[in-house]
Amino acid sequence: MTTNVPENQLYQFFFEPITEQQNQRVRLGLALTLLLVSICSLITYQGILRGQYQGEIFNDDVKVYFWFERFLDSELFPNDLIADYFKSVTPVGYNFLFSILTNLGVEPLFLMQIIPLFLIFFSSAYIFLLSLEIVPIITFGFLTTILSWMTFFPSDSLPRSFFLALFPAFLYYLIRGALLPCLGTIFLQGLLYTPFLFILIGLLIIRLFKWKNGRLTVSSNRQDYVFCLAGILVAGIGIIVYVLSSYRYLPSISGSEAIKMPEFWYHDGRAPYYSDNILDTYIFGWQSGLKPGRLLDSQTNIGRLSFLLPILLYLSSKFLLVTKIKKNIVILFQIIVVSLGLNLLAHLVFFKLYYPNRYTNLPLRFVIILASSLSLLILFEAVWRWLGHFELFSVINKKMVAITMTTLLGGYSLLYPLYLSTQKLPKVFYHVPSIEMFFTKQPKNIMVASLEEVIASNIPTFSKRSVLTASEFANPYHLKYYTPIKQRTIDLINAHYTDDLSQLKTFIEQYKVDFLVVREATFSPEFLTKSIWFRQWKDIAKKIKTQQEQEKVPSLLQLSETCAEFQSEDWLVVSSKCILAQKEIQ
């Protein structure tokens, strides 16, 4: 025989704060939340797990870690400038993690696809526990965790993604006053993605100051100073390790140098930061870190509720749940201050702290999630109590609200990954698999050159062979690396379009190029408007356009069919040996 659940039990289930003694409720809530997160994640990743996408789903940025293949085969990418550079700037811990896992025989690309599953599980656990330190209500922990999953997943396995797992863990241990685990998260952050250490250090420092009686005072809590000094020491070790590992290409480019380079200008630069419109540089630009559309997640649209939280807190007398909020909520304000402060500092000392968006995109979105979840819960509790004024239907209405809320949240969470289009998933396409397969069968020490980005950027990852240059790898952040890459690219462009066979041969011999990949469209005027190289280097584009108007036929185009060693549709793989053997063009 079934019995009805009393309405006070329903209220307690959703809104009753837990106590320190109710560990069983916390464990149960955490287990159920992680179960739902796991189900949603597996649904989203079913393409990978079942092979439906043929290994195509992963973030485009993972291509810069093609050199991980060296862990499996040390003969790959010999004397490769690009591979050596990205190895140098890769965080030590990230490098070590993949070296261990690949030495067990696991393919790096497969690791890139599966690591997000473990990261989201780890981060979800700490987000749930952190939420309870702010508002000790199980429903709040559930809401925050699910909204975090919707916002940040599917994620990637890049170094910055480890911040999503370590940041909530750091905050949890910081609030709990657990020194050693807190220092552990700082240490791991330093090894896995060093730049985010500045966020953690900033939070440790800002907690030395308190707002009392309308004025700013210095903390009298000895623990705050212990955490701060110990944290700075551990973070300092992480920074030193990173600098020593990447010293070969230091220093980073300065702002005075970057502003003169087209690579750093909107809208055609490879790494845009500057704009003729100052608002694009500081607010609306992609690298500003304050772009509203980026901070307010467009997939769930719930982020806008975060702006209601200050109003709800101000009207605390009208919203009962506000009284359940712990003083630990101040951590949200502290994150905002530190994040915006570092963002401003990054603008002022550009490029010493990298792009300003590094310090706001993830931390502020994290705050927005917590604030949105809390606003949603406060409003829901207020609606619940409002329905209580209708005595005749109070029990029915409350049960309906409870059922509706549970159904909507659970159903939306489960359906969300099913409707998540593949366009929103991080991915890379095998655009020309036949050519990639061709290069896989060639010697390991070959060098490939191509102006076609779909070829040049994908060959190192999918063919495991070196390329001379590619925009995907042309990071202009360290001139010791970028200067030779830029020169390579300019030389490739000149050799590609010259009608002087001797210039083409000189280029091949200078860079020891074994194959050039071309297609007829590469030589067309339209290509000059599409290629990132010509969009940012307009003076070079103008010179090539003049050559085309003079109807000078490039030597490479004339020899492309004669010296083609492999063809796939309109793509031609041209042999350098054949070109060097040509005495003249017939």
Average pLDDT over the chain reads 87
Q: Token digits for 319?
A: 């919203």
| Residue type at position 219 | S
354: Cα separation from own chain's centroid: 14
Integer-rounded Cα radius of gyration of the chain: 28
pLDDT score of 412: 54
Q: In the chain, how many domains are there?
A: 2
Higher-scoring residue by pLDDT: 286, 257: 257
Identify whether residues 390 and 535 lie together within a single domain. Answer: no
What's the whole-number mean pLDDT along residues 299-304? Answer: 68
123 inside domain: yes
Q: Token digits for 258?
A: 């970057």
Higher-scoring residue by pLDDT: 411, 452: 452
What's the whole-number mean pLDDT along residues 408-424? Answer: 51
Identify whether residues 419 and 439 lie together within a single domain. Answer: no
Handedness of CA 579, 584, 585, 586 (dihedral sign): negative
Domain boundary among 424, 456, 476: 424
1 inside domain: no
Residue 349 has pLDDT above 80, yes or no: yes
Map residue 209 onto helix, strand or coil.
strand
Identify whether residues 388 and 465 lie together within a single domain. Answer: no
323 inside domain: yes
Handedness of CA 55, 58, 63, 66 (dihedral sign): negative
Handedness of CA 361, 246, 461, 489 (dihedral sign): positive
| Residue type at position 165 | A
Identify whether residues 366 and 477 lie together within a single domain. Answer: no
Identify whether residues 420 and 439 lie together within a single domain. Answer: no
**Among candidates 129, 173, 133, which has minimal Cα distance to 148?**
129
Quick one: which H or E segment has residue 262?
none
Rounded Cα gap, residues 517 and 467, in angstroms? 11
**pLDDT cut 70: percent of the chain above it:** 86
| Residue type at position 101 | L
404 inside domain: yes
Rounded Cα gap, residues 381 and 396, in angstroms? 16
pLDDT score of 51: 46
Identify whether residues 100 and 201 lie together within a single domain. Answer: yes
pLDDT score of 565: 95
CATH number of the domain within which 512 lies: 3.40.50
Residue 558 has pLDDT above 90, yes or no: yes
Q: Write down the pTM of the prediction.
A: 0.90
Quick one: which H or E segment has residue 158?
none
Rounded Cα gap, residues 175 and 133, in angstroms? 7
Residue 281 has pLDDT above 50, yes or no: yes
pLDDT score of 4: 42
Handedness of CA 363, 364, 368, 374 (dihedral sign): positive
Residue 404 has pLDDT above 70, yes or no: no
Identify whether residues 545 and 420 lie together within a single domain. Answer: no
Lowest mean pLDDT among 380-394, 458-472, 516-530: 380-394
Lowest mean pLDDT among 147-156, 370-379, 389-398, 479-488: 389-398
| Residue type at position 27 | R
511 inside domain: yes
**pLDDT cut 90: percent of the chain above it:** 61
233 inside domain: yes
- Alpha carbon separation from 206 to 112, 169, 216, 341 (Å, rounded): 36, 18, 11, 11
Where does the pLDDT of residue 586 fall: very low under 50, low under 70, confident under 90, or very high at 90 and above? low
Domain boundary among 390, 424, 458: 424
Residue 416 has pLDDT above 80, yes or no: no
Higher-scoring residue by pLDDT: 71, 569: 71
What's the whole-number mean pLDDT along residues 337-363? Answer: 94
- The torsion angle over the Cα atoms of residues 11, 17, 22 and 28, rounded to 10 degrees, is 60
Where does the pLDDT of residue 54 fall: very low under 50, low under 70, confident under 90, or very high at 90 and above? very low
Condensed to tens digits (0 to 9), the pLDDT of residues 64-86 reads 999 999 999 999 999 999 999 99
Residue 183 has pLDDT above 70, yes or no: yes
Residue 55 has pLDDT above 60, yes or no: no
Residue 529 has pLDDT above 50, yes or no: yes
Which range scores top for mean pLDDT: 32-41, 311-320, 498-507? 498-507
Give residue 216's domain range. Answer: 7-424
Residue 464 has pLDDT above 90, yes or no: yes
Residue 584 φ/ψ, nearest 5 degrees: -160, 165
pLDDT score of 155: 58
- Half-sphere exposure in the Cβ direction for 340 (13 Å, CA): 11
Identify whether residues 449 and 333 lie together within a single domain. Answer: no
Q: Token digits for 202?
A: 């900033």
Lowest mean pLDDT among 249-258, 268-277, 423-432: 423-432
Map residue 354 onto helix, strand or coil.
coil
Residue 426 has pLDDT above 90, yes or no: no
Condensed to tens digits (0 to 9), the pLDDT of residues 116-150 reads 888 989 999 999 999 999 999 999 999 999 888 88
pLDDT score of 297: 61
pLDDT score of 82: 98
Burial of 367 (0-12, 13-18, 19+ CB in 10 A): buried
Which residues touch 406 (CB under 8 Å, ≥6 apart)?
none
What's the whole-number mean pLDDT along residues 407-417? Answer: 55
84 inside domain: yes
Phi-psi region at 231: left, alpha or beta (left = phi > 0; alpha = psi -120 to 50)? alpha
| Residue type at position 223 | Q
Condensed to tens digits (0 to 9), the pLDDT of residues 151-171 reads 886 556 788 889 989 999 999
What's the whole-number mean pLDDT along residues 327-342? Answer: 96
| Residue type at position 48 | I
Domain boundary among 424, 457, 480: 424
**Among candidates 43, 69, 124, which has minimal Cα distance to 461?**
69
Where does the pLDDT of residue 3 fall: very low under 50, low under 70, confident under 90, or very high at 90 and above? very low
Identify whether residues 61 and 170 lie together within a single domain. Answer: yes
What's the whole-number mean pLDDT along residues 443-466? Answer: 94
Identify whether residues 485 and 410 lie together within a single domain. Answer: no
34 inside domain: yes
Where does the pLDDT of residue 6 fall: very low under 50, low under 70, confident under 90, or very high at 90 and above? very low
Rounded Cα gap, residues 74 and 83, in angstroms? 12
Residue 288 has pLDDT above 70, yes or no: yes
Residue 286 has pLDDT above 90, yes or no: no
Residue 160 φ/ψ, nearest 5 degrees: -65, -25
Identify whether residues 26 and 113 lie together within a single domain. Answer: yes
Identify whether residues 544 and 572 lie together within a single domain. Answer: yes
CB 306 within 8 A of CB 174: no
